[in-house]
Amino acid sequence: MSYKVVYNSVFGGFGMSKEGLAKYNRLTSKDVKHAQAISPDDPILIHLVETMGDAIDTDCSRLKIKEFPMKYKEFLKWTEYDGRETVHIDYERYLISTVQSVIDDLSTSSDEKIERIRELYQEYDSMPKMYF
């Protein structure tokens, strides 16, 4: 299973066309005035980005979807510069949290914990390091 989020891929800021915002409000029975009020993992927003293509964009926004394995959902790191957003996995935070969970697991033997932590570090070593 995967986890999808919507982000703005160009300078200018997160926004939706009037048509996109109207469709969102119609589908959700809400009265959202600004796209920034919508969560980036909102399933209706994701659906609209997938189905509307460029019609959802504005002069200052290009909405894109990025997909991650579900296990990283709580470990995404967002950065923004002049309205352009990037989203990636914070592998260090994931590793620390997961190792702590392994240590705290009372149903696992010490040998099993050591092996699981070894596997986690091997996984970590194979991850792209450009965001660290």
What confidence tens digit (pLDDT) does each residue in 24-77 have? 999 999 999 999 999 999 999 999 999 999 999 999 999 999 999 999 999 999
Q: Which helix (H) or strand (E) holds 3?
A: strand 2-8
pTM of model > 0.75: yes
Residue (of 59, 61, 82) closest to 6 by Cα position = 61
Please report which confidence band the pLDDT of residue 132 belongs to, taking 50, 70 and 90 as the band edges.
very low
How far apart are the C-alpha atoms of 4 and 46, rounded to whole Å? 7
How far apart are the C-alpha atoms of 8 and 105, rounded to whole Å? 39
Residue type, 111: D
Residue (of 5, 6, 10) closest to 83 by Cα position = 10
